[in-house]
Amino acid sequence: MNQPLTDFLPDPRSNDPDALAHDIVERLVYRIGKDRKVAKPHDWLQATILVARDRAIERWMNTIRHTYETQAKRVYYLSLEFLIGRLMRDAVSNLGLLEPMQAALDELGVDFDAIAALEADAALGNGGLGRLAACFMESMATVGVPAYGYGIRYRHGLFRQRIKDGWQLEYPETWLEHGNPWEFDRRESAYEVGFGGYVDYQEANGEEEKYVWRPAERVIASAYDTPIVGWRGTNVNTLRLWNAEPIDPIRLDAFNAGDHIGSLKESNRADALTRVLYPADASPSGQELRLRQEYFFSSASLQDILRRHLQQYPSLDNLPEKVAVQLNDTHPAVCVAELMRLLMDVHGYEFTTAWDMTRRTIAYTNHTLLPEALESWPVPLFERLLPRQMQIIYEINARLLRSARAEHGFDDAAVRDISLVDETGERRVRMGNLAFVGAHSINGVSALHTELMKATVFRHLHEMYPDRINPKTNGITPRRWLMQCNPGLTSLLRETIGDAFLDDIEALRALEPFATDPGFQTAFAAVKRQNKERLARVVRDRLGMRLDPSALFDIQIKRIHEYKRQLLNIIEAVALYDQICSHPERDWVPRVKFFAGKAAPTYHNAKLIIKLANDVARVINSNPSVRDVLRVVFIPNYNVSLAEVLVPAANLSEQISTAGLEASGTGNMKFALNGAITIGTLDGANVEIREQVGEENIVIFGLTAEEVAQRRQNGHNPRAAIENSPELSQALNAIASGVFSPDDPGRYRELIGGLYDHDWFMVATDFDAYAAAQREVDAIWKDSARWRQMAILNTARMGWFSSDRTIRQYSRDIWDIPL
């Protein structure tokens, strides 16, 4: 009798290297169709991913099964961005397979690190917002919160950045060009999403009125699932991304009539929904596409949530007890109106009950105080695209404003401030206000940001609902941002304080006694040197530039935006360059200033700042008299994988945003955890980092948020600040006059002129304090024992900033999920 084939295969759950090597070859042959003799590195990568994915699947199914069996409350995290980066090392490490997988590939003559570097970065995010969502997904799985992440499966996502002649150029990011081996196509989870059309009013036999939305256009949202593995592989949650498909892929009548392009119109409209993250919204069509994207994924996600709930429970009556919907910023704020529509128009609840259910189910995380980031949409666009949702918003607003007048005694100014419709100019729907009133919890992402929310953008709403706003300081996953990106430091820590920190990152506090130990300081510095050498190799390979790893590596990596003040950093580099040229006899600290980040395609000043950074780099790096003392490097196409090289190599972390404008930041946490010293303003989570690491282990400068607000309110004179600072005046004159742009001497005249005229982001006002802080950094660097002590204490005291802690606080205070 023939034995089944499975009898001859190793246990698929076996994690010894021989079994893993067997499984890798099996996937290579039977799933990829390649003999190992002709397999290319990308074939080995895919085979390895499939083995890791298969070992996650049973745990994934167990997690889902357990949630159903225990009737546990689920969290649904809605985010327009999920900057997950490469997943293979993350999944393999969390499954406990890293060392045996490396050994298995060694047996097969394949280098694990080499093939891991071939994995595409998922282009699903832009910066901190998307990376936070990715950290939260991993931490929810780690701490045992049953969760789904919902987003869009962007075909190209955020653009791929190239630098040509110093200018940013945008190209499509083709991360899905060869498929995604991590995802599963869930064709059974598909929902119609409508746009436009009109609303029918129906009344039958004196029963309660009923509204029926009849969209003019429909698309299909189809689901793709990716398993997100928690630490130790105990729990595996789901990231569900939506792809848009037309109901009819081609109009054959039009095609057969000769209109070959027009026959694909509906297909192209659907395709545009999931092509690009943050399409430019300077044009009306761009604004419409953004709103379509946000409603598309919000509606599909809510339909999926309600379908899953009704699959398990007889009705939606217990929805708030079993479902927590977390809105990651204002992008999914339309969920408030859409959940109301689904509850009332589809499931038959009356307004008051539906509103109570909606508010008890939804919570909202605010990430910014910038007005342009608190999205608003022209009322005519909203009414045309989402007519029923606009009706619901009007009704919510009417009840809100009546309550404000009758119950709270608000005057006209306060009523205007809380209204969901901005009437001050072009009538616009305020999505931040909608998210606030439609949620039971509104959280800031740092202590400072939360207090500023109460005092500024949501001041009057906070007066109406004083118990809703609460602080939840952001965190990062230590698995990705220490154990995986910095294996050298992780190994040193394990040798020194044991393995407790692997499961409880706050156990890093045990490192504190070693901060002054000369032997440990030397070992700690050696790890940092190795990481700097790795970064130097990346710069050499990509840019052809050789760097000295013994120099101070000074790094600012983040989205290019005026409030993040890359311009301040560049101007200080110019001032330092002038000083070095004027006083070559001084004992200057060798320094390499690194910049990386992308500017929005239509953000003129941000793109000009990138050009300035590259122009300044060209001049400074080509001057032989300073090249051994100062270098400036702009690394193109910043993404998660590049951050994983930059963060462990940093000596100095630049966190220099205008105080009061950076909600939290997470880059500051990643750098400090990896032993970098922060130079920064008292902004966002810098405030709490100072509290944790100690004010003697961080370099703080500049105006506080209160001082910035006072200066803006009372008026300030940036011209006087510039004229009273010889270093600043000289640097600005050099930039404005064309010293760094001889091909176009007037290129930066307007950019620099803005600092004289208004200096909204306090670049000139903070310059002298920033320059003095940089010279303080130089002095600390020269005292190597002191620098190493500060760096070690930063690592030892950053455990509190784990996203595990943040998720536990969300679970306790917002989602009501016991852990």
* Active-site amino acid positions: 367, 558-559, 564, 666, 670
Show the tokens assigned to 245.
Answer: 């498909």
Report whether 79 contacts 151 (CB < 8 A). yes
Spatial neighbors of 609 by CB under 8 A, at least 6 apart, are: 560, 562, 566, 567, 570, 599, 751
Spatial neighbors of 188 by CB under 8 A, at least 6 apart, are: none
Strand partners, 633: 594
HSE, CB side, 13 Å, CA atoms: give it for residue 498.
Answer: 7
| Bridge pairing between strands 428-430 and 421-422 | antiparallel
Strand partners, 547: none
User: 570: how many CB neighbours lie within 10 A of its CB?
Assistant: 26
Report whether 636 contacts 667 (CB < 8 A). no
> Mapping DSSP to helix (H, G, I), strand (E, B) and coil, where does residue 140 land?
helix
DSSP H stretches of helix in 426-582: 431-437, 447-455, 459-464, 478, 487-497, 500-503, 518-543, 566-582
Report whether 45 contacts 119 (CB < 8 A). yes
CA gyration radius, the chain: 28
- Distance CA(92)–CA(32), nearest Å, equals 20
Q: Which 8-state DSSP code applies to residue 4?
A: P
Question: Of 371, 556, 514, 359, which is closest to residue 456 (Cα–Cα)?
Answer: 371
257 burial class (0-12, 13-18, 19+ CB within 10 angstroms)? exposed
**Long-range residue pairs from 448-453, CB within 8 A, at least 24 positions apart, any chain:** 448/660, 448/682, 448/683, 448/684, 448/687, 448/705, 449/366, 449/369, 449/663, 449/664, 449/684, 452/369, 452/660, 452/705, 453/366, 453/369
Phi, psi angle pair for 626, to nearest 5°: -125, -5
Question: Of 691, 688, 675, 667, which is closest to residue 515 (Cα–Cα)?
Answer: 675
- Distance CA(595)–CA(383), nearest Å, equals 43
Cα dist. 668→321, 474, 560, 661 in Å?
A: 36, 11, 16, 15
Report whether 296 contacts 152 (CB < 8 A). yes
Show the tokens assigned to 608.
Answer: 């000009």
Q: Which 8-state DSSP code applies to residue 692?
A: H
User: 439: how many CB neighbours lie within 10 A of its CB?
Assistant: 26
